Amino acid sequence: MTIASLGRGTSGPCFDVPPEVEALRARVAAFVADELAPREGLLTEPAGVPWSAVQELRSRAREAGIYGPHIPRAWGGLGLDMRSVAVLFEEAGTSLLGPLAINGAAPDEGNMHLLEVVATPQQKETYLRPLVAGEVRSCFAMTEPAPGAGSDPRMLRTRARRDGDGWVLDGHKWYITGADGAAFAIVMARTSDSDDGRGATMFLVDAETPGFAVVRHIRSLDQTFLGGHCEVRLEGCRVGPEAVLGEVDEGFRYAQVRLAPARLTHCMRWLGIARRSLEIAAGWALDRHSEGKPLGEHQMVQAMLADSRIDLHAARLMIWHAAWVLDSGGSAREETSIAKVFVAEAVGRVVDRAIQICGALGVSEHLPLGLFYREVRPFRIYDGASEVHRASIARRFLRAVARHRN
């Protein structure tokens, strides 16, 4: 029995893992061991993981029958529900190459979902089809330097003004993940100053459009995202009417279509890294001796291992429950927000404890724990900082209590 299977005996609509999904999970695990583990040196290459290597891994993932668990069958994927995706994304996430290989990495995975829900048939053919095929990459351009949009998207400053039958976009974006090398961007721009939660519009902007420019890579703690985190300028960037994604002034609403599932799939992937970190620490606790006995027989080490097991179990159950709500047709805004806060912090704790248990080896480059730590730490900030989610959770809770009292 592996650590992955421990504690999975709970039954019920949120927690049953069908035999066919368990079989897929085993195939993903074998793929990680056989195809990805030998290639993880690519993650520390100065220029990043080569696009040619990603294409090769995706070809092998197709051969293994594990490509695109989240992608509808009509678009060439496995067409699984979110609960099943959670199982496979966690398994693929045990390697930082896993999400790339199955084409389930951010920001493309979230953009696929948004396009599938909102885009017109023609937009799907132009943008979604090559994206789900893994032939191109994309980015989502909402975040701006202060005082622009960050955790509060209502501070959006990028503007789009009508120009004949098209639009002209002007603005400054930053920390746009994957922008360098992306074939297109989904750009959030303000189209009115409405105070009713509307007023933003999403635009599909091809990377070669005049006026759209990737200015630079922003050096960052985490370094394995394809295309880096970039500063982007839009200056007199003209697009046609066909570039509008969805309806004008409904961008904030569409952002929720993307953000709730996307923050949950982030949780799924990082849970895999936390699980692998615990497995590394457990192995070291069994093998390394101190004061005449294995580290794992020292109570303080046992406490760290136990706390990490507790964090992983609670995180997994939160993810699976939120996935069940999405599968049941709910927005899961509350559930994904709660899960995002807990999982982001739990994953950090698990990786941190693993480093502590492994001591000098943990902070050395002989183990991947240092790389994992750098990659997971920003998760407490992106997709909404923990503090912002906590404030939203509290406000919704107080409103519910007030309604009950009245």
pLDDT at 43 over 50: yes
Instruction: List where CATH 1.20.140.10 sits in the chain.
Output: 253-405
Q: What share of the chain is helix, strand, coil (3-state, %, to 5)?
A: 55, 15, 30
SS3 43: helix
The predicted model gives 236-251 an average pLDDT of: 97
Q: Report the alpha-carbon distance of residue 22 to residue 123 in Å, rounded.
A: 35
pLDDT at 347 over 60: yes
State residue 33's pLDDT score. 98
State residue 154's pLDDT score. 87
State residue 46's pLDDT score. 86
State residue 6's pLDDT score. 40
pLDDT at 272 over 50: yes
State residue 7's pLDDT score. 40
Instruction: List where CATH 2.40.110.10 sits in the chain.
Output: 138-245
Give the mean pLDDT of the chain: 94
Could you report the per-residue pLDDT of 306-315, keeping only the tens digit for each? 999 999 999 9
Looking at the domain 253-405, which fold is it?
Answer: Butyryl-CoA Dehydrogenase, subunit A; domain 3 (1.20.140)
State residue 9's pLDDT score. 42
The predicted model gives 192-217 an average pLDDT of: 91
pLDDT tier at 142 (50, 70, 90 boundaries)?
very high
Looking at the domain 138-245, which fold is it?
Answer: Butyryl-CoA Dehydrogenase, subunit A; domain 2 (2.40.110)
Looking at the chain, the whole-number percentage of residues with pLDDT higher than 90 is 89
Least confident of 14-23, 198-207, 348-357, 393-402: 14-23
pLDDT at 4 over 90: no
Q: Report the alpha-carbon distance of residue 359 to residue 370 in Å, rounded.
A: 11
Question: HSE of 370 in the Cβ direction (CA atoms, 13 Å)?
Answer: 10
Q: What is the pTM of this model?
A: 0.94
Higher pLDDT, 10 or 297: 297
pLDDT at 2 over 60: no
The predicted model gives 75-101 an average pLDDT of: 98
State residue 406's pLDDT score. 74
pLDDT at 11 over 70: no
Q: Report the alpha-carbon distance of residue 81 to residue 58 in Å, rounded.
A: 21
